[in-house]
Amino acid sequence: MTTHLPSRLAPWLVAGLLATATVGCDERALPPAPQASATAATSGAPVVAGSAEADAAATPGAVHGAKIHEHEVLSQVYEVDRIYKSMTGPQSTESVRLASLAEPELLWIVGFEAVMVEPETKAQISQEFMCHTNLDIDPVGHGALFGGDKRITGRLFTLSQGQYRIDMPEGFGIPVLSSEVLNLNTQVLNLNLADPKRSVRHRVIMRYVRDAEVREAMKPLYVTGAFGLKLLEGKDGHYGLSAPAASSAPHAGHGEHAGHGEHAGHGEHAGHGASGEVDHTACLPGQNAGMNEFDDGKGRTFTGHWVVEPGREENHTRVTELMDLPFDTTLHYVAVHLHPFAESLVLKDLTTGKEVYRAKTRQADVGIGLAHVDFFSSKEGIPLFKDHEYELVSTYNNTSSEPQDSMAVMNLYVADKEFKKPDPSAVVPKNVPGASASAAPKNAPSM
């Protein structure tokens, strides 16, 4: 199905892309503890770095004198009985509130964590069975409560392969009202165990502080996103632009599948004809990976979930309009979503020619998977400018002999310059809807 979208693609589409295509996870070689570490951005801004154990031990019990509260949710029990590739395993969505309070009040989300556990004992097990854990908010309802001109994504957090815990820089948080309903989606995956026959569930922890308890003002963050797109049909070029736009640097020499604009794969598997049309031999498999296609209104169709052929691929996406910054701001946290075989993901400022942030990965020691994906965390932050042009560059190196699905997403947690505290007394609490679930699709591939 092809969806027609205006040239200014709303940031909430990031949530839709992550919901329709999520990473596979084979982590048998990893310790069960959630991993967390960071690499510095090229700007030199300070980052938080360390091992999973160090980060877990350093988790503060309070922020600005306020206790960090935890809201824990156990997903339903999932039966893992065969191979489940990306987005084919059992999954469920349930609606939750962070706190049950007599009256609505302002809360600040400061952390999010998800691990796989045994159903009865709740003992932590291998993360290889986690496809993803997503926490969403109603962007329209949230925007009505907090006001402002910015467009927000409905996705608050995604945890998947390579990172299983997020902690905002101390003193920073995402503001929500206690009356707001959040949607928690969990899904399992199994890439390598042919006959596992085991039951698993997700243990999810949401961490927050109450505004009424903090001794200093919290620094508000909101979430926007930058994600890679792949051209499926039409003339080569960037999403929503009338003519192909040159990238900030030449693409030659990046590998046999070096890309141009939104299309990566102009080497052995694709090329241009005399008319300028793209040969879609390499692009069409992306239709099998992604469940959505996006028409930019310029005669081109894109997907955010595409296939990488064996070999190296570099994909460039102009993301200025996707980020849709309404003001100059600072970037304080970056969470990265990639699939196995990804090597790096870079956010580049085309106006200055400098990298904003480069995330690298480490592949799993056993099987197909990502052992680690970098994240960025900084109190000082990195400047972002509303009138600058930005580009996202993903590099995959498919060392297998088969095509592999891919995505490239940066969830960007930036300073909210227009934040104003809402009036909780004007909010009428709503009942929390029930949960919904689904087993694996009957036609899911069994490989």
- pLDDT per residue over 146-198, tens digit each? 988 888 888 999 998 889 999 999 999 999 999 999 999 999 988 788 888 99
Spell out where 195-300 has E strands. Answer: 198-210, 219-227, 230-233, 257-260, 263-264, 293-295
- Per-residue pLDDT band for 431 (boundaries 50, 70, 90) equals low
pLDDT value of position 328: 98
Two tokens, residue 44: 């030199």
Domain boundaries, the chain: 12-224, 226-244+252-415
Q: Which amino acid is at 376?
A: F
pLDDT value of position 91: 94
Residue with token string 């498919």: 398
pLDDT value of position 20: 44
Two tokens, residue 163: 């990172």
Indicate the DSSP class of residue 163.
Answer: B
pLDDT value of position 426: 64
Q: Has residue 81 got a pLDDT over 50?
A: yes
55 sits in which H/E element: helix 52-58
User: Which backbone phi and psi does 424 adopt, to 5 degrees?
Assistant: -60, -25
pLDDT in tens, 286-323: 333 445 577 666 677 888 888 899 999 999 999 999 99
| Interatomic CA distance for residues 152 and 138, integer angstroms | 10
Contact 80, 198 (CB under 8 A): yes
In the chain, count of helices (H) and strands (E)? 5, 30
- Other Cβ atoms within 10 Å of 166 Cβ, number: 25
Going from the C-alpha of 133 to that of each of 75, 125, 204, 254, the distances in angstroms are: 10, 16, 8, 33
Candidates 341, 329, 359; CA nearest to 406 is 341
HSE of 383 in the Cβ direction (CA atoms, 13 Å)?
A: 8
| Interatomic CA distance for residues 276 and 283, integer angstroms | 16
User: Which backbone phi and psi does 57 adopt, to 5 degrees?
Assistant: -70, -30
Residue bearing the bigger pLDDT, 429 or 400: 400
| Bridge partners, residue 171, by sequence | none
Going from the C-alpha of 217 to that of each of 88, 226, 407, 427, the distances in angstroms are: 44, 29, 37, 22
Residue bearing the bigger pLDDT, 228 or 9: 228
Q: What is the mean pLDDT of residues 129-133?
A: 88
- Other Cβ atoms within 10 Å of 239 Cβ, number: 24
pLDDT value of position 405: 84
pTM exceeding 0.85: no
pLDDT value of position 209: 97
Indicate the DSSP class of residue 278.
Answer: B
Going from the C-alpha of 134 to that of each of 93, 204, 371, the distances in angstroms are: 9, 10, 19
Range of lowest pLDDT (49-63, 68-82, 139-153, 361-375): 49-63
79 CB burial (10 A radius; 0-12, 13-18, 19+): middle
| Interatomic CA distance for residues 257 and 330, integer angstroms | 34
Candidates 114, 97, 128; CA nearest to 192 is 128
User: Which backbone phi and psi does 426 adopt, to 5 degrees?
Assistant: -90, 0
Q: Has residue 50 got a pLDDT over 50?
A: no
Residue with token string 């197909």: 368
Two tokens, residue 408: 């490239």
Which option is the CATH number for 226-244+252-415: 1.20.1270, 3.30.1300, 2.60.120, 3.90.79?
Answer: 2.60.120
Contact 226, 359 (CB under 8 A): no
pLDDT value of position 216: 96
- Cα Rg of the chain, angstroms: 21
- Other Cβ atoms within 10 Å of 397 Cβ, number: 17
Q: Which amino acid is at 258?
A: A
| Interatomic CA distance for residues 201 and 77, integer angstroms | 5
Contact 49, 446 (CB under 8 A): no
